[in-house]
């Protein structure tokens, strides 16, 4: 599943984790908003989330994920798995068109409505229309640079914004 209109990237390096997202919202081929906030902190600022997809669907998923975090006392893995199970099996949630990246200091997961909970093999993962560009840039930066996780996320999103027409350079970075 690929979504046009956004890029979200998670990077883990040297004990820090960052998620970055651009601010562009499109409707068809028109830019409707350039400064949307698609990256958020949750659970006492210990968890970072980012979404790609339909905005209303993403807010529904943010609420559901926050409930799971509270239910499982901030356990990222358990919350992600339980959310993916509910998302996949619930008749209403199953229709939501979005994907999420969630992270804490130790782990990063991609969560999708098909039941996927994917932990990246390397220190980065990305979703959205510019995801492959941001991921490639992050992998290159992770391989031998002295940049922090947040700096890698920022620079990689900047590169994606220069390539993907559905990604802009109004980048938000959150780091734990």
The CATH H-level superfamily of 7-165 is Aminohydrolase, N-terminal nucleophile (Ntn) domain (3.60.20.10)
Radius of gyration of the chain (CA): 15
What are the residue numbers of the active site? Answer: 6
Q: Over its length of 176 residues, how does the chain's per-residue pLDDT go in tens digits?
A: 444 568 999 999 999 999 999 988 887 778 888 888 889 999 999 999 999 887 778 888 888 999 999 999 999 999 999 999 888 888 877 777 788 999 999 999 999 878 889 999 999 999 999 999 999 999 999 988 899 999 999 999 999 999 998 899 999 999 99
Q: Residue 143: which residues within 8 A CB-CB, separation 6 or more?
A: none
Asked if 60 and 97 touch (Cβ cutoff 8 Å), the reply is: no
Q: Is 43 exposed, middle or buried (0-12, 13-18, 19+ CB in 10 A)?
A: buried
pTM for the complete prediction? 0.90
Amino acid 155: pLDDT: 98
């Amino acid at each position: 599943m690929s979504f046009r209109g956004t890029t979200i990237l998670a990077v883990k390096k040297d004990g820090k984790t960052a998620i970055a997202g651009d601010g562009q919202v499109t409707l068809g081929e028109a830019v409707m908003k350039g400064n949307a906030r698609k990256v958020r902190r949750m659970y006492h600022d210990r968890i970072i989330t980012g979404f790609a997809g339909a905005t209303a669907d993403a807010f529904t998923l943010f609420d559901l994920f926050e409930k799971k975090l509270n239910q499982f006392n901030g356990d990222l893995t358990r919350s992600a798995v339980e959310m993916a199970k509910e998302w996949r099996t619930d008749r209403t949630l199953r229709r939501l068109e979005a994907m999420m990246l969630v992270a804490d200091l130790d782990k990063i997961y991609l969560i999708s409505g098909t039941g996927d909970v994917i932990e990246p093999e390397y220190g980065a993962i990305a979703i959205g229309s510019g995801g492959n560009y941001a991921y490639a840039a992050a992998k290159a930066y992770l391989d031998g640079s002295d940049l922090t996780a947040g700096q890698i996320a920022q620079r990689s999103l900047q590169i994606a914004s220069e390539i993907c027409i559905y990604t802009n350079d109004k980048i938000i970075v959150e780091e734990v």
